[in-house]
């Protein structure tokens, strides 16, 4: 199952907020990043998880 479908099923309000933010931003940011922003907006206690999708899996991959 795709992540976006799972997100819609588990938390439709956050997904609606993310869709609204994404359309307001005219798609300049990836939907995953906007969804994490919407999630933190609705649930500030999850701020530590926001950067999870923005980090490389292996820190050695970020080096030149």
Task: Identify the pLDDT of residue 36.
Answer: 87
The answer as to whether 61 is a domain residue is no
- Are the CB atoms for 32 and 54 separated by under 8 Å? no
The answer as to whether 8 is a domain residue is yes
- 6 conformational bin, left if phi > 0, alpha if psi -120 to 50, beta if neither: alpha
Task: Identify the pLDDT of residue 8.
Answer: 87
**Number of domain units in the chain:** 1
Q: Tens-of-pLDDT digits for all 64 residues of the chain?
A: 688 788 889 989 999 999 999 999 887 988 888 988 898 899 888 887 766 665 555 555 454 5
The answer as to whether 59 is a domain residue is no
- Per the structure, the complete domain to which residue 35 belongs is given by 3-54
The answer as to whether 22 is a domain residue is yes
In the chain, count of helices (H) and strands (E)? 3, 0
pTM: 0.68
Q: Determine the angle formed by the axes of helices 3-10 and 12-24, rounding to 10 degrees.
A: 120
């Amino acid at each position: 199952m795709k992540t976006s479908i799972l997100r819609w099923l588990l938390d439709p309000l956050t997904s609606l907020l993310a869709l609204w933010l994404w359309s307001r931003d005219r798609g300049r940011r990836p939907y995953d990043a906007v969804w994490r922003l919407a999630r933190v907006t609705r649930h500030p206690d999850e701020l530590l998880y926001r950067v999870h999708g923005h980090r490389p899996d292996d820190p050695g991959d970020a080096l030149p």
